[in-house]
Structure 1
Amino acid sequence: MPDHSADLSTDHSADLLLARALADTADAITTARFRAHDLAVERKPDRTPVTDADVAVEDAIRAVLAAERPGDRIAGEERGGAVEGGRTWVLDPIDGTKNFLRGVPVWATLIALVVDGAPVVGVVSAPALGRRWWAAAGAGAFTSDATGQRRIGVSGVRELSDAYLSTTHLGSWVEHHSREAYLALVDATWENRAFGDFWQHCLVAEGAIDIAAEAIVNPWDVAPLQVLVTEAGGRFSDLTGAPRYDGGSALSTNGHLHDPALTLLRTASASTTGVASEGR
């Protein structure tokens, strides 16, 4: 495994070192199975795909944690588990499984340590992109690529009209929030894309874009991203504005744009609901 001894010393430095080592373990499995001709794909009850690599990664991480942190709980997308009091490792073995199974390189392993309900360590490893992001509470946010590693921070954009916006799947807004509300945010901003999943929140953390919004997420989708974005100087919440990773939705921003984005989404959603009610 690579030497991670250069990390800043924090109360969670040992946990961060372990999380990055866990990501190394995951990368070895995912890169070997990416674009494999014999990749096995099944459907979960919610009709989302799961590959043999998803399961293998989670099992490998759980085995390391059982040896290194036997007293900690584990909650993973594939094997289950609950986040309760104390320490829980929250795992998404492959975020972006649809990309993974189609040969698109935008996918990552997400690892978070949640202590008493708050994410304190987060690692996002995207080996097909040659990128990794990590953060620990009080120690800042970092990334690495082919040029080395560096500390990252959010953008300084202060007006929605100058903002770069991203979401995941536009159709999710129809089912889980309000498509019109998201489109109102699109209309209010300078540029928009659907970078999707983990990547858009990482892009917010490193200042490449300014807002990432998702109408529906699971806790394992965003637990490490909350600490990454906040340690980079941004804000992370659900779409009600609660600063939590387990609220079922997600909004990350550079901080300056958080309240304006929330206000616009709420106003547009309420307006749409009112029009629909009048039409009944």
Structure 2
Amino acid sequence: MDSPYAQELRIAIGAVQAAAKISQSVLSDDDKGTVEKDDLSPVTIADFAIQALLTATIQSAFPDDNFVGEESAADLRANPPLLNRVWGLLVGLRDDEAKLCKLPQSPEQMCEMIDKCGFGQPGGPESGRVWVFDPIDGTKTFVQRKAYAINVALLEGGRQVLSVVGCPTLPVNPNGPIDNSTIDPTGQGSIAFAVRGHGTYVRPLLKTSGEVTLRKIEPLPTSSTIADLRAVSCYHMLDSGVDDAHEAIHARLGIPDKGCDFLAWVLRWVTLGLGLANVTVWVYKNRERTGKIWDHAGAMLLFEEIGGRITDIDGKEIDLTAGRKLTGNHGFVAAPKCVHDRVLQTVHDVLHEQGKANLLA
């Protein structure tokens, strides 16, 4: 794919390939060094190592850029055995894997790289270039040896311009439905990527012999109707959503089932971006609940580049400049552009009917 971001794309893909090797080395380990964070979500040694690798690699190539990521190194500094395990993952990369990226030179530099993201802020429209990382989205399923994703996004002035998502468990060309238990029978996995204005593509995650084949995702039909909607959702698996509203919205739209039931938000955006579904709706239980930038930035571009529209449930565009949390928005409504307004109106109708209008602005 020719684009003004060819160098950024090449470096990000190489870093994601090396990151996938780290994740796969941990995936089969019963002890993944899991730590519970203050928000009760888990983090593993793979999360820490991958965030350090991504930051060190991209900073080396683009030293003036800034970074935002999910993790900080506080738990590592407080736990030397855990720190040594994370460092061991980086130095354990084979030479052919390590040449794709730039590695930290010491455990302390590794922690510095992690914290460069962990304390980073996306900034406003004048913030310049900011990379956003989710080293492992779907940590809960990762520890179960199920689906997860490695998310890399580049923002310019708070606007998504590049997305690279590594999906080690998902095939390039799924032959049927995919879910948290899907395993690529070839063992290759896939990378979904997009550049603003240049479309969405998918390729094998692991390079094999011969030329790497890229597949461009076909745009959504401009004649899509409500009858064409296919959902990706995650009901009765998270405590943050209003499941009875979600199910009523599906029923009102005539959507027969939940479709790809992914826990990780990045994988939901990948599912939409690859055309395996074309609608998702998420209403949080209260207005104080918000998304986190690393779960959505970049990955949303995959769907937008094939003709999808994404807003919150109030109809506002998603504001990636608000901070590490998407405090300017509540929930998500994603659908083909030509039916998005109809889906959004259905969300409003159902919430009013269920006495939940307080969840709207």
Residue 346 of structure 2 corresponds to: 264
Secondary structure of 2:354's counterpart equals helix
The correspondence of residues 1-280 of structure 1 with structure 2, limited to 5 A, is 8-79=1-72, 80=118, 81-84=120-123, 85-104=127-146, 106-129=147-170, 130-145=189-204, 148-156=213-221, 158-170=224-236, 172=238, 175-176=240-241, 178-187=242-251, 188-193=253-258, 194-197=261-264, 198-215=266-283, 217-244=291-318, 245=320, 246=326, 247=329, 249-273=331-355
Cα distance in 2 for residues equivalent to 1:180 and 1:38:
37
**Alignment partners' CA distance in 2, 1:195 and 1:37:** 23
Decide whether the 8 Å contact of 2:141 with 2:263 is kept in 1.
no
Paired residues, number: 266
Offset, 1:120 = 0.5
More helix by share: 1
- Counterpart Cα distance in 2 of 1:275 and 1:77: 32
8 Å CA contact 2:50–2:135 kept in 1: the answer is: yes
Query: What percent of counterpart residues are identical?
Result: 25
Q: Counterpart of 1:168 in structure 2: which amino acid?
A: C
* Distance apart, 1:90 and its partner CA: 0.4
Counterpart residue type for residue 13 of structure 2: R
More deviation in 13-22 or 26-35? 13-22
CA positional deviation for 1:274: 6.0
Q: Secondary structure at the match of 2:297?
A: helix
| SS of alignment partner, residue 121 of structure 1 | strand
Point out the more displaced range, 246-255 or 50-59. Answer: 246-255
Q: Is this contact kept in 1: 2:164–2:191, CA < 8 A?
A: yes
Unaligned runs of 5+ in 1: 1-7
CA drift of 1:171 comes to 5.9
4+ long deviations beyond 6 Å? none
Structure number with bigger Rg: 2
Q: What residue in structure 1 maps to residue 175 of structure 2?
A: none
> CA distance change for structure 1 residues 231 and 155 in 2, over 3 Å: closer, same or farther?
closer
TM score, norm. by length of structure 1: 0.86
Deviation of 1:263 after TM superposition, in Å, equals: 1.0
User: Which amino acid is 1:152 matched to?
Assistant: I
Higher mean C-alpha displacement, 127-136 vs 206-215: 206-215
CA contact (8 A) 1:25 1:61 kept: no
C-alpha deviation, 1:234, in angstroms: 1.4
* Whole-angstrom distance in 2 between the partners of 1:145 and 1:242: 35
